[in-house]
């Protein structure tokens, strides 16, 4: 049985693992290069000396999902049609913002349409607001993925910075993501 409260990020040689509770279940995401994700990858990524070793057990099933390149649509609206969620932007998984940004799109669209007399202006406002916010978050998620995938001396510097900066460093890095969400409430 594997149980740790809250979310945890484990950084390793060119790969990382994040896990977080979802109700009574535990969602675990292991991100590693495709060449290392073949066959029996768990012993290399989850060594017996690691607290995560229990996740390499045979009773755990894993689903491989390739990480696609992120994109943000050039045009979010045309006439009476607007894009939202994955149709408007894909999101790298490294900030766990995929579904969250889709919900943020919906909240923004609702706010712009609520009581609007000019639907075209409301759609234009929504597209302008969300395109800018999402573009910055996609870029930050992409950078986060590259930072998490570091190996060698660069990874040691990353780890040193994280050890020295602690939660304040992570909160500072995520402040822009959380600030974007606050504008929607």
In this predicted model, what pLDDT tens digit does every residue of 122-140 receive, in sequence order?
A: 999 999 999 988 988 898 9
Give the model's pLDDT for residue 111. Answer: 95
Per-residue tokens: 117: 């007399």
Q: Is the pLDDT of residue 1 over 60?
A: no
Of 179, 146, 148, 181, the closest CA to residue 69 belongs to 146
Nearest CA to 140 out of 173, 164, 118 is that of: 173
% the chain with pLDDT above 70: 92
Q: What digits encode the pLDDT tens for the residues 97-129?
A: 888 899 999 999 999 999 999 999 999 999 999
Question: Is the distance from CB of 134 to CB of 89 less than 8 angstroms?
Answer: yes
pLDDT of residue 108: 94
Structure tokens at 98: 């995929």
Least confident of 15-24, 36-45, 63-72, 153-162: 36-45
**Residue 150, SS3?**
coil
What per-residue confidence (pLDDT) applies to 185?
56
In this prediction, residue 40 has a pLDDT band, given cuts at 50, 70 and 90, of: confident
Among 58-62, 130-134, 179-183, the range of highest mean pLDDT:
130-134
Q: Which residue has the higher pLDDT, 182 or 29?
A: 29
CA trace torsion 119, 123, 128, 134 (10° rounding): 150
């Amino acid at each position: 049985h594997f149980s740790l409260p809250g979310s945890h990020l484990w950084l390793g040689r060119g790969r990382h693992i994040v896990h977080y509770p979802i109700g009574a279940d535990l969602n675990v995401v292991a991100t590693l290069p495709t060449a290392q994700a073949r066959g029996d990858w768990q012993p290399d990524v989850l060594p017996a000396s690691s607290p995560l070793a229990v996740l390499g057990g045979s009773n755990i099933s894993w689903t491989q999902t390739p990480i696609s390149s992120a994109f943000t649509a050039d045009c979010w609206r045309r006439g009476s049609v607007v894009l939202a969620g994955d149709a408007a932007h894909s999101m790298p998984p490294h900030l766990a913002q995929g579904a969250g940004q889709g919900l943020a799109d919906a909240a923004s669209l609702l706010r712009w349409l609520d009581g609007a007399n000019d639907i075209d202006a409301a759609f234009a406002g929504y597209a302008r607001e969300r395109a800018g916010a999402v573009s910055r978050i996609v870029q930050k998620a992409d950078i986060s993925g590259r930072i998490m995938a570091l190996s060698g001396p660069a990874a040691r510097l990353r780890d040193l910075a994280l050890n020295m900066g602690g939660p304040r460093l992570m909160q500072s890095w995520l402040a822009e993501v959380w600030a974007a969400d606050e504008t929607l409430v």
